[in-house]
Amino acid sequence: MYIQGEVMNVQHTDDTALVARAAKGDAAAFESLMELHEGRIYAIALRMCGNREDALDCAQEAMLRIYHALDRFKGQSSFATWVYRITMNSCLDELRKRKVRAAASLDAMLESGWSPAAGDEGLPETQALRGEQRDIIRAAIGSLPEDMRAVIVLRDIQGFSYEQIADMLEANIGTIKSRISRGREKLREILISR
């Protein structure tokens, strides 16, 4: 975690100069900023949306919002935090629009021969089952309420700290911890009931 913080501090320094230039209309600086953050923007969007097409749309929408709001960035948080907050909001807006939740069945996995105790990591069957497991977990995360899904994606998949998540979602840390706890419990319930 310390190394990640170090990288974010170095990146924050790089972001500051680029943000100042981009806010003055320097297209190359804005492009450089987006290159620094596009991987994480897309990763968040993919985890929130659950499929590539919607994730690409949300990532693109987030970048457009960032571009249009760049002159309003005041530096009260790191640029990265601000970018990921906008990304989360783009994803949440998309999810609210479509209101479709995907669900998968753990029973179907068990019926197809998956066993939590199965070994032999290198076998194609094992790798295929792992892919199915990922799909089931992805679907289970996708079926969580939006507030829980957001914190689970940011904490458990993207590895952000509670403080960073609180800043991104503009909520207090206690609320974030509570949502993460409830989200994990709900995820367990979904996976067990399928």
Structural domain ending residue among the three candidates 100, 117, 135: 100
Number of compact structural domains in the chain: 2
Residues 90 and 106 in one domain: no
Alpha carbons 45 and 106: distance in angstroms, whole number: 25
Q: What is the pLDDT of residues 164-190, one digit of tens each?
A: 899 888 899 999 999 999 999 998 888
Contact 18, 88 (CB under 8 A): no
Alpha carbons 169 and 121: distance in angstroms, whole number: 38
C-alpha 6: how far from chain center: 21
Residues 130 and 94 in one domain: no
Residues 119 and 193 in one domain: yes
Name the residue range of residue 31's domain: 1-100
Q: What is the pLDDT of residues 74-133, one digit of tens each?
A: 888 889 999 999 999 999 888 877 653 333 344 454 455 555 554 455 556 666 667 777
Scan for tokens 């792992």, then name that residue: 130
Alpha carbons 194 and 107: distance in angstroms, whole number: 5
| Whether the model pTM is above 0.85 | no
Closest of 94, 97, 98, 114 to residue 106, by C-alpha? 114
Residues 109 and 42 in one domain: no
Residues 34 and 76 in one domain: yes
Residues 109 and 192 in one domain: yes
Which residue type, as a one-letter code, is found at position 82? W
Q: What is the CATH number of the domain that holds 178?
A: 1.10.10.10
Q: What is the CATH number of the domain that holds 87?
A: 1.10.1740.10
